[in-house]
Chain A
Amino acid sequence: MTPAGLIPVAIAGGLFIWFAQMIPVIGSGNTLRYVWEWVPSLGVNVSIYIDGLSLTFALLITGIGALVMLYSARYLAGHVHQARFSLYLTSFMLAMIGLVLSDNMLALFVFWELTTITSYLLIGFSHDTAKARRSALQALLMTGIGGLALLAGIILIGTTAGTFEMSEINAMPGVLTGSVMYLPIVLLVLAGAFTKSAQMPFHFWLPNAMAAPTPVSAYLHSATMVKAGVYLMARTHPSLAGTDFWLWTLTIAGAITMVFASVMALRQTDLKLALAYTTLMALGALTLLLGNESGYTITAAATFLIVHSLYKAALFLVVGILDAQTGTRDANSLFGLARAMPITATAAAIAAFSMAGFPPFLGFIGKELKYAGAIAVASEPIFVAGAVLISSALMVAIAGIVSFRPFWSRSGKPIAGVKEAPWPMLVGPVVLAILGAFFGIFPETLAITLVNPTVAAIIGGAEPAKELKLWAGVNLPLFLSIATFVLGFSIYYYKQKLRTILIDLTTRGPSFDNGWDKLMAGVAAGSKALTRTIQTGVLYHYMLVTFATALAVLAATLWFRSTGIPAMGFPQVALWDWLVFLLVLMGAALTLVTNSRITAIAGLGVVGIGMAMIFILYSAPDVAITQLLVETLVVVLFAAAALKLPHLTAEPLRKRWVDAVVAVGLGVVTTVILLKVTAGPIDRELTTFFETASWPQAFGQNIVNVILVDFRALDTFGEIAVVLIAAISIFALLKSKPEEEKQ
């Protein structure tokens, strides 16, 4: 471990202390808000809002962050890319803090995406394995798509409520629930929350994300980032919850995720994967609880949020220790290591007790509250309580598998020569486990500091938070707890049989992961086919489509918006004008029909001279001189280059009637538009300004030149820059060697 490895620890620890000193202020019911205008015209502010909810998250992020960073300083010591890892992890932490502190929804979105990106980098940290790359990409795409949906939802919220500040929106009851946009808003916001928090059917990226180093799994994919979706649901709860739609969507998605994930957890033999599925289960439970608005359910959610982060991070770190010290995470090869690593074993046991929900640990209170909340839910309490019972029982069994069996079981022989982990890796699990036990014995300390302010932030003053008690008397939750233990122990006892059945079932059933691969292949094939259709690689097709579209758009506009072609008598113009007209016409016709390069160039020259004559006739001497000079240069250059090119071949009109139709159509449309334009009035305001200001202000008599070099000098500067760029490009084109490009 190097001193440099401790810098992130210091950052996280310092932030933790800074947030911790806010507890008295926030705990007594205050909120803090700081605003800096960033893009005021778009309503984007950098605004910090600290209430119970954001403070709880901030403390979890920085506290667990500090422990995890200390742990990884040792875990990854000597790794080639350790510095990179620290950078990613610290960036993630800062992004996550920004996410929970932002009051402005657009700023929240920016941080939300930053956590997605850092998560991508961390999952793909072992980028030399295909599995890590695929998992990283999968997580990025899933959460990225959800992030886009969230952005759309946020914009809808902003336009509906008139502000992007969440604290202001939450202070306007009914502004969103009463709006016609409510349904799209909820769907889009939940799409973001569900993908981030891995709810069914978007769950499969999370187990795959276990390809990341274990500290990452403990930190991002258990304690913090995956809870961003939960945070979002809690943050928007005051303005989005309270409808049947919210209630049912969250209840059903949460319940299904919870039960499915806990069953899948039992199937795993890789301890880390088992923990990943229990994380899914916890996220499902939190989603389910947040569907409601009763004091019981929200208190349960707030408590369980903290409980879960404490024990799950501890257990992940324990699995990391096992992996590092023994070289395996397989549940069937780890037995009886308690003697070899007593501190780890004790920390694992305490965390597991909390996870399983034994008294007197915090997990017990969390579970009791979940039951109380489940009974208190607004709809179908039996269904919800049943789902909680099944998943809690499975948690008991899995807690046994993850932290009892590897340390205490005598079913197999312990791996020889295993040593206790070094202290930096022990601090995390031990501190987190002890906290779980401490808060279990003194729940009121947690209640007044974090849970009550969080509940107040989510449901406001509607209903006070329920008391956190270790012994709540003989009641229904207690009986349910006892049933949980009985069921849990039975499952643990029959785990091998159940696992065999589950493996059999899941290998035969459809797999989300395979579905994802098929979807990705389909998207790739579809975009390739689409590209082939619209990008033919033939210039002619591009030109035809471009011109035909221009024709269609212009003609349609003329047709639907037109007031008819202005009346046009035979124009009374001078002989000179007719001669110029005929000159240009001849030049164009010559260029059009000839198969001789020289004739065509001469034709173009004639057109150019005709143009210059028009400019002279109609009082534009500067333009006329420029036109003449440029025309000369065009002919010189063209003659120099074109004579080295092959002769033109005839392209007969009868094979090109489509082109002719498009060309004539565009010509007619242009003429009609111009006739209408010139028949209408003209606004000479700008011209008048230039005419009157040219001499008094800019001391120039040639108005055209004054516009170019004085009034609009910046434009002219841009234009000469373009000329220079053209010259440089041409120089580069001519100096590159043709031989090099040939294959």
Chain B
Amino acid sequence: MNSVILIAGARLQAVLLLVFSGYMLLRGHNAPGGGFIGGLIAATGFVVYAIACGTQDARKALRFDPGSIAGAGLGIALLAGVMAALWGDALFTGQWLFIGATEDSKGIPLSTVLIFDIGVYLVVLGAILSIAFSLEEAV
């Protein structure tokens, strides 16, 4: 497919979807969204990009091998779970840190739960792209 409009559009929507996926990931704990949804959105962006510009370009745009992304995601998720042990809790117990918390507001919440969700995001993104790219290349 060599449509210039498609290629330009695909590039634009891939960027938009990537940003949107990050937004969905971060807000996931309090509103619809989360790692699964974020990962799927990002993957959709790259899949469309690959259809428009070919998997070569898509792989280049991704910078990392999708399999490695997925593997790293699983490792991050595991690490987030194991980190609970540092505080003496059972594995996969969420740990929270509220930066700048006041009486009324909880400030900026940082948590192992978020790290875990990032791991989920990366696994979903990496796994789907690995499947889609290798299938595109095989047919």
Contacts and interface: CB of A to CB of B under 8 A. Distances in A.
Interface string B21-55: 00000001111111111001101100100010000
A730 B32 contact: no
What range describes how many residues of B lie at the interface?
35 or more
Contacts of A632: 44
B124 interface: yes
Contacts, number: 143
A726 B127 contact: yes
B100 to A, nearest CB: 15
B136 A702 contact: no
Nearest to B84: A713
A720 to B, nearest CB: 4
A730 B130 contact: yes
A622 interface: yes
A641 B116 contact: no
B92 to A, nearest CB: 4
B29 A728 contact: no
Given A633-B47, A709-B116, A701 B132 contact: no
DSSP class of B's interface residues: helix, strand, loop or mixed? helix
Contact of A723 (B96, B116, B127): B127
Given A633-B40, A717-B81, A698 B94 contact: yes
B21 to A, nearest CB: 10
Given A633-B44, A720-B77, A727-B131, A702 B28 contact: yes
A708 B116 CA distance: 10
A713 B51 CA distance: 34
A636 B51 contact: yes
A720 B71 CA distance: 10
Interface residues of A, number: 40
A656 interface: no
A726 B126 CA distance: 12
Interface string A705-735: 1101110011011001101101110110011
A420 B54 CA distance: 86
A77 B127 CA distance: 59
A31 to B, nearest CB: 45
B70 A698 contact: no
A730 B123 contact: no
B70 to A, nearest CB: 5
B81 A713 contact: yes
Nearest to B42: A629
A724 B44 contact: no
A640 B116 contact: no
A701 B120 contact: no
B139 A641 contact: yes
Contact of A644 (B28, B43, B71, B139): B139
Given A622-B33, A632-B44, A734-B134, A728 B67 contact: yes
Among A641, A709, A716, A728, find the residue whose CB has the most chain B CB atoms closer than 10 A. Answer: A709
A727 B130 contact: yes
A579 interface: no
Contact of A731 (B29, B51, B67): B67
B92 A714 contact: yes
A632 to B, nearest CB: 6
Interface string A566-605: 0000000000000000000000000000000000000000
A644 B135 CA distance: 11
Contact of B34 (A633, A636, A709, A721): A709
Interface string A615-632: 000000110011001101
Given A636-B51, A713-B116, A724-B74, A735 B134 contact: yes
Contact of A734 (B35, B111, B138): B138
Given A705-B33, A713-B92, A720 B74 contact: yes
Given A716-B116, A730-B131, 14 more contacts: A622-B33, A633-B44, A709-B117, A713-B94, A717-B74, A717-B77, A717-B81, A721-B74, A724-B73, A727-B66, A727-B67, A728-B130, A730-B134, A734-B135
18 contacts: A625-B37, A626-B40, A633-B40, A633-B43, A636-B51, A699-B111, A702-B30, A702-B34, A709-B35, A713-B113, A714-B81, A717-B77, A717-B116, A720-B119, A724-B74, A727-B67, A731-B131, A734-B137
